[in-house]
Structure 1
C-alpha cells in the first residue's frame, strides 16, 4: 500500500470518528436529518483541505522541518507509540521509510493537515451546534427593514436611519457595465476567480488586526454580502470564521452573477441609501441603467466608507476616490486612459437633498460611531433606539448663534464656524455645530469642522503651563519675555508675541492670562516636549502621539487637534484634573426594547486637583488679562465666574475661544474651510470666536445660580500685604514667604490705567 493510500485511509478514519462523535453527542439534543449529515460531511472535508493548504502556505519557508520530523519519529518513543496507535488499522504503516526525503515531504504535510483537523474537531458537539446556528444563505434574498431612531436626551426625535423605499431589485443585466466594472475594480477585482474568500487578504488583515492593533477588512464581495445580510457586526474571530463558512456556502448555492446582483442591491451608499437603484435616484435623479462611466466610478467608491467618500461630505475627497477607481479600471484594461480622463473631468449634477434631520452634524457623528460599533447594515435595518446626549434646546440656540455671529464677521473674511458644548461632569456632548449651514453644498456645509484637525493656536497653552506647575513652577515664577532665537536642524525659530512687543520680566500668571508667546516657548524649553504631548493626550487630545514630529512651536499650536477634543481638555480642567472621554450616546435598545449598550463612567486622574485649580484660577482672573484684552471684551459673563482662553493661529487662519464653569464647557472656532487667512484686524477676545462663545455661555448660565470652583484642601490662598495685597494661590507647602513686588506693582498700575 502506498503512502498516499495510508494518508487517505487515515483521513477517512478521522472523518468517520468526527462524524460519529458529533452524531453521538448531538443526538442527545436534536435529531439529525440525513441532509444535515451529508452537508456536514462535505463541510468537514472542505475544512480539512482548507487547513492543509493553509499549512502549506504557512510552513513553506521553514527549511529545517524535515530534520524535525526525523528527530521526532526516530528518537521520541512517546511519539512512536502515539503514531502506532493512530495507524493501528493501517497495515502498511510498518513499511513507511521516513529516511527518504520524498516520504518525509508527504508525511510533513499530512501531519500538519491532520493536526489542524484534529484541533478543529476536538469539540465536535460545539462545532455542530455552532454550525446549526449559522444563518441560511437563502436569507440573502429577504429584506427586513427596521429603522433606527436617534433621540435627544429628552426623548425627542432627531433622525431616523433607515433605507429609502426601494422598488424591485435591479437585475444585473440592467446595471451598466461601467458600474459593474467599477465596483469590481475597487472592491474585488478577482471576484470571478475566487471561491468566496482570498487567503492572502485574510492573512494580511489578520496581521494588521492582531499584531498592529489596526482592525482591517480584506473581504471579498461575497464576504461583504454575507456581512451585510446575515451576520451581526461584532469584530471577533468567531464571526470571521462564520463569515468564511457562509461565504463558501453562498458560492455553492448561488452563481457569481447572482451574488454580484444581490450585492449591488444591498450595498450601502450613504445616509438612507441602500442599493444601486436607490443611490442612482438619490444622487443623480436617474435610473441605475442610465448611469454614465463618470457617475458609476463615483458611486462604486461609496460602499466601503459612505460618510467619508460621499460628495456631500467632501467633493474633493470623493473626486480623489473616483480617480482611484478609474485608475484601477485602466489597470484592469476595462477602460482606456482617455476614457478615464474624460470621465474624471465631467462635472456632476446632483439632485437636491431634503431629509428631516435636526442637529445634522451630530447625527453624522453618532451614526459613524454606531456603524463602528455594529456595522452599517445593522444600524440601517436593526430597529435600534438610540438615546443620545444632545439637548435640542441648546443645539437650536447654538446653531442660530454660530450663523448670526459668522454673518456679522463676514467683513473680517470669516465664512464658517463651529461650536461644542459639553457637560464636564459626564463628558456628554450637549451640542455640536459643525458649520454655519449643513445643507450649503456649495460651501461644503456638510463638512464637520468640529471634528476636523486644525492648529489650535494659543488655546493649547494651558497644557504647557499645567506641566510646568507639576514640575515646580508657581504662579509667581518669573519668566523673561525678551527676544529669543532657537536654532534647529531645519530652521532658526524666533517666536514673537501677537502684539509685536516684549514685556520684560513677568509672572507665570500674567504670561498665561495674557497669552504671551515667548514666555510659553521659554517655559517649554525647560521641560520635556514629549511629556507635554503625553499630558495633552491624557487630558483629551486623543489623536496626539509622542512621535517627535514637532518642536517648541507645539506650545503655540503647532500640532493639530480637533475642536471636540480641545474642548474636552478644558473639560478635564473643569473636572479638577480628571479625564473623561466625550460621550455622544446615553444608551441603546434593540428592536425588542432590550438595552444592549449603556455608557460606562470611565475616568482617569491625569492632573492633581491643585494644579487644575491653579490653572482655572489664572484663566478666570479678569484683572490679570487686562493688559492684553482690556476691560471691554467678551471673555467674562456678568454674575458668573468663568475660566476662558483664546487662541489664534499664524496669519489668523483659525480663531478659538474656549471656556468653562463647573457645569458647562463651551468651545468655539471660526475661520474658513479652505484655510485662507482672516482679516488681520480680527482681534482675539473682541471679534471672531469670542462673541459667539459669550452668547452661548450666557444662554447656558441665564437663570443659574453663581457656581464657583471648589478650593482643594491642597491649595492655599495667600495675600502679600507688602505687595499692595496681591492675592496668589499655591500648592500647600510651596508658598513663598515673599515675592518680587516690582512686576506685581507694574501689573496693578496697568490695571489702574485701563480702568481710568
Structure 2
C-alpha cells in the first residue's frame, strides 16, 4: 500500500499543474470568455493519464485492472470538470466585459444637471483618487489579509465561522464577519450569478485563485471598489460618496470613509437612510476598531472620527432643468441608442446656462401663479442664442413635479396655435414680394368666398376697423384684417413654403390651411418658432437649434463636438464664444432688418398696446400672439444675441379668461426674462444694411411727404421707394374722413350701440 501511495505522487503533481494551467490568455475580443479544452490542456491531461497506466496496485481480495482504474479516474475528472469548470467565465472578463456606467449631463459651465443609469449608478475612479484611509478601512473590515493571501483565506473562513456562531446566539449582528476575501467578493459580484449553491462557491474559489494569478492586488482592489454596491442605485465608491455625502470620493474624511467601508456587507441593514440608522454608526465604530487593530490609524484618530458629526445629503431626486434634461436624453438616445445612454458612461456638456434656466423658471412659476384667476394654469419658455442656435434655457411647464396637472409635459416641443405671433413671417414674405413698411393696407370689412367652404370674414381683436394703415402699423399693432389681406396677396401655398424655409416643420399638409393661417390657424412648436424668429435675429440666416456642446465616452473619446463655425480644431469651450456661425441664408438680410425695425418700434404698436406696455424694451423686437379661442397666448422677442419665446395656457387645452393681446399673460414673463438677460448681454440693436434707403414719407398714404401730412422716415429696399408725393387736398380729405369716422365711433359708444 505504501508503494501504491508513493506511486500516486507523480500523477497528482501533474494534476495540480494541469489545474493551474487553466488560466487563459487575454481574449482578443472584448467579450466574456468561456473555458474550453484547447490542445495544451489535453496534452497536460495525457501527461496525467499515462503514469496511471504504469501503477502497480496492491493485491486486494477483489481485482481491478489498470484500464478500469484509468477509466474511473477519467470519469471522476470529467465529473469535476463538468461540475466546476464548464461555462466558467474567464478572469479577463473583469477588464473586457463592459461595466454599466452612469451618464452625466451637465450645463455649459460643467454644473451637473442629471445622472442617467439603468439600475446601477456608477462612475469609475482610479485607485490613487480613492483616499488611502477608505482603502485601508475596506481592507480592515472586509479582508485584513488581502495583501497576503492568494485569493482565499482559510484562516479568515474559520475565524468567521467561530466568531459568527457566538454572535448569532446573542443576536448581535453589528459585527458579523464574512469569510469571503475581497477577491472572492469581486468575482461573486462581477462574474458569477447570485445563486447560493456549493457549485457556485467552488467556482468562486477557483476564479478567485485565477484572478489573483492574472491581476496585481492594487488592480483587484480598484475593481472591487468601483463595482461593489453601497445601497440603492449607488455602485462604486464615487457614487456612494456623492449619494451619502454629496461630494467626490477624493474629499471624504476618515469618518465618512469608515461609514462607507462598512456598507457593502449589508447595505440595507447599515444604511443611514434605513429603518435603523443607529446600526450605521455601530458599523462605523467597528470599522474604526478594526483599523486600529490593523495599525492603520491610532486610537485617538478613531475616537475623533467616531465623535465627528456626519452630514448626510438629503434623499431627493437630483435633477435640474428636468424638461431640458429629458429633451437631451431623447436626443442622445436617438443618436447613440438607449443602452449607451443608460450604461455607457457618457460625459455630456449641454448648451444650457443653469443661471438663465433658473431665472426663467422662477419668472414662469411666479407670473403664472399671479394670473391663476384668469384660468391660466401653465406656462413655458425657451431662451436661445440666435447666432449659434444654442438652447440656453428650456422651461417646459410651470412645475415639472406637479403630476396632477401633467407638469412633466414639455410644452416647448408640443404643437400649439401661435396666434398673431406668426404674422411677422407673413409680412416678411410680403416684403420680399414688393411690399414696403409704408405700404398702405385698408383695414376694413372683407369677406372671402371659397367654393365648398363657409364664407370667411376676419375681424380684429378689438372688434374695430382702423381704415387705411401702413404695413408698419398693421404689424406693430397686430391688426388681423390687414394680415389676412396680405396673405391673400402672398398666396397660402407660397407662405407655407416660406415658413418651411425659416424653420416651421409642422405644416406638412397645405390642403388643411386657408387664410386664417396668418392668424395662427396652423399649429407650431415653441422650438420651431424660436428657429424662425432666429432668422430675423440672425440677419436672414437660419441656424438649427442645438442642445449639446460635446459628448465624450467613458474613455474620454470625443463622440460629438458642437463646432459653431464648422472649422476643424475648434473645441466646444471655444465654440460657445464664437458668434460668426456658418448658417443657411433663407431671407434677404434687408428684410430681416425691416422686420426687426418694425417689431422694435414702440410707436407702431402704441395704437393697440399703449405707449407703456411690457413690450416696450429699447432695441428689442417683440411680437405677441393670442388665439381667437383664448387657448394659447404667446410673446416672442429678440436681440442679436438673445431670443425669448414664452407661452401661457392650459395643458388640457381649456380656454383662458380674457387676455389683452398677450399683455396680461405671456408678456410679463417675457419682460422679466429679457430684462434679466439684458443685464449681462445688453441690447445693441441691429445695424441698418448699407443698401437700404431712408425716405421721408406721408404716414397716411405711404407716398413721399407733402404739406399737411404726418411725416416719418421710412426704410426701403432700393427700387421699392415711393416716386410720387401726396397732395395737400388728398391729405385734407383723408383727415376729414378719419375725424368723421372717429366721431361716429364715439357716438355709438355713448349710445351703447357699438358694433364691430
1:697 aligns with 2:674: yes
Task: Tell me by how many angstroms 1:476 deviates.
Answer: 1.4
The equivalent residue for 1:505 is 468
Q: Counterparts in 2 of 1:232-381, with a 5 A limit? A: 354-381=316-343
1:434 aligns with 2:396: yes
The equivalent residue for 2:458 is 495
1:650 to 609, 617, 628: 628
d(CA) in 2 for partners of 1:619 and 1:636? 10
Give the direction of change, closer, same or farther, for the CA distance of 1:711–1:577 in structure 2 (3 Å limit).
same
Structure 2: where are the runs of 5+ without partners?
1-27, 35-92, 123-232, 235-314, 565-581, 698-704, 744-756
The equivalent residue for 1:86 is none
d(CA) in 1 for partners of 2:665 and 2:506? 26
Give the 3-state SS of the residue equivalent to 2:404 in structure 1: coil
Task: Tell me by how many angstroms 1:707 deviates.
Answer: 0.1
Give CA-to-partner distance per residue, 1:174-199, whole Å, 9 cap, x none: xxxxxxxxxxxxxxxxxxxxxxxxxx
The equivalent residue for 2:303 is none
Q: Counterparts in 2 of 1:630-709, with a 5 A limit? A: 630-637=610-617, 640-680=618-658, 682-702=659-679, 704-709=681-686
The equivalent residue for 2:713 is 727
Q: Counterparts in 2 of 1:493-642, with a 5 A limit? A: 493-545=456-508, 547-601=510-564, 603-637=583-617, 640-642=618-620
Give the 3-state SS of the residue equivalent to 1:674 in structure 2: coil
CA contact (8 A) 1:457 1:557 kept: yes
d(CA) in 1 for partners of 2:737 and 2:350? 47
Give the 3-state SS of the residue equivalent to 2:405 in structure 1: coil
The equivalent residue for 2:442 is 480
d(CA) in 2 for partners of 1:748 and 1:364? 55
Task: Tell me by how many angstroms 1:641 deviates.
Answer: 0.7
Single out whichever of 485-494 and 720-729 deviates more from structure 2: 720-729
The equivalent residue for 1:155 is 110
- After TM superposition, the score normalised by the length of structure 1 is 0.54
Give CA-to-partner distance per residue, 1:244-298, whole Å, 9 cap, x none: xxxxxxxxxxxxxxxxxxxxxxxxxxxx99xxxxxxxxxxxxxxxxxxxxxxxxx
Give CA-to-partner distance per residue, 1:629-656, whole Å, 9 cap, x none: 011210022xx31110000012211000
d(CA) in 1 for partners of 2:475 and 2:737? 14
2:99 to 136, 140, 144: 144
CA root-mean-square deviation: 3.6
d(CA) in 1 for partners of 2:551 and 2:620? 34
d(CA) in 2 for partners of 1:366 and 1:536? 26
Task: Tell me by how many angstroms 1:583 deviates.
Answer: 0.7
Give the 3-state SS of the residue equivalent to 2:635 in structure 1: strand
Give the direction of change, closer, same or farther, for the CA distance of 1:632–1:727 in structure 2 (3 Å limit).
same
The equivalent residue for 2:161 is none
CA contact (8 A) 2:640 2:683 kept: no
Task: Tell me by how many angstroms 1:709 deviates.
Answer: 0.5
Give CA-to-partner distance per residue, 1:677-724, whole Å, 9 cap, x none: 1002x1124210000000100000025445021111221122245344
The equivalent residue for 1:712 is 689
d(CA) in 2 for partners of 1:459 and 1:635? 13
Task: Tell me by how many angstroms 1:165 deviates.
Answer: 3.5
Give the 3-state SS of the residue equivalent to 1:719 in structure 2: strand
Single out whichever of 692-701 and 735-744 deviates more from structure 2: 735-744
Give the direction of change, closer, same or farther, for the CA distance of 1:669–1:472 in structure 2 (3 Å limit).
same
Give CA-to-partner distance per residue, 1:74-106, whole Å, 9 cap, x none: xxxxxxxxxxxxxxxxxxxxxxxxxxxxxxxxx
CA contact (8 A) 1:147 1:382 kept: yes
d(CA) in 2 for partners of 1:491 and 1:448? 36
Task: Tell me by how many angstroms 1:472 deviates.
Answer: 0.7
CA contact (8 A) 2:620 2:683 kept: no
CA contact (8 A) 2:542 2:586 kept: yes
Give CA-to-partner distance per residue, 1:380-428, whole Å, 9 cap, x none: 1111111100000100000000000000111111010000101011011
d(CA) in 2 for partners of 1:647 and 1:539? 18
d(CA) in 2 for partners of 1:735 and 1:663? 31
Q: Counterparts in 2 of 1:342-421, with a 5 A limit? A: 354-421=316-383
CA contact (8 A) 1:423 1:430 kept: yes
Task: Tell me by how many angstroms 1:546 deviates.
Answer: 5.3
d(CA) in 2 for partners of 1:715 and 1:354? 57
CA contact (8 A) 1:466 1:612 kept: yes
d(CA) in 1 for partners of 2:725 and 2:676? 40
Give the direction of change, closer, same or farther, for the CA distance of 1:653–1:706 in structure 2 (3 Å limit).
closer
Give the direction of change, closer, same or farther, for the CA distance of 1:143–1:551 in structure 2 (3 Å limit).
same
Give the 3-state SS of the residue equivalent to 1:387 in structure 2: strand
d(CA) in 1 for partners of 2:556 and 2:716? 53
Give CA-to-partner distance per residue, 1:619-677, whole Å, 9 cap, x none: 1110011110011210022xx31110000012211000000111110010000001111
Give the 3-state SS of the residue equivalent to 1:737 in structure 2: coil
The equivalent residue for 2:119 is 164
Give the 3-state SS of the residue equivalent to 2:521 in structure 1: coil
Task: Tell me by how many angstroms 1:737 deviates.
Answer: 3.4
Give the 3-state SS of the residue equivalent to 1:480 in structure 2: strand
Task: Tell me by how many angstroms 1:586 deviates.
Answer: 0.8
CA contact (8 A) 1:148 1:160 kept: yes
CA contact (8 A) 2:634 2:662 kept: no
Give CA-to-partner distance per residue, 1:201-253, whole Å, 9 cap, x none: xxxxxxxxxxxxxxxxxxxxxxxxxxxxxxxxxxxxxxxxxxxxxxxxxxxxx
CA contact (8 A) 1:451 1:562 kept: yes
Task: Tell me by how many angstroms 1:354 deviates.
Answer: 4.7
Give the direction of change, closer, same or farther, for the CA distance of 1:724–1:551 in structure 2 (3 Å limit).
closer
Task: Tell me by how many angstroms 1:603 deviates.
Answer: 1.8
Give the direction of change, closer, same or farther, for the CA distance of 1:747–1:538 in structure 2 (3 Å limit).
farther
Larger Rg: 2
d(CA) in 1 for partners of 2:490 and 2:718? 23
CA contact (8 A) 2:104 2:112 kept: yes
d(CA) in 1 for partners of 2:639 and 2:664? 22
CA contact (8 A) 1:416 1:672 kept: yes
CA contact (8 A) 1:530 1:546 kept: no
Task: Tell me by how many angstroms 1:142 deviates.
Answer: 6.2
CA contact (8 A) 2:102 2:121 kept: no
Higher helix share: 1
2:722 to 736, 740, 750: 736
CA contact (8 A) 2:424 2:475 kept: yes
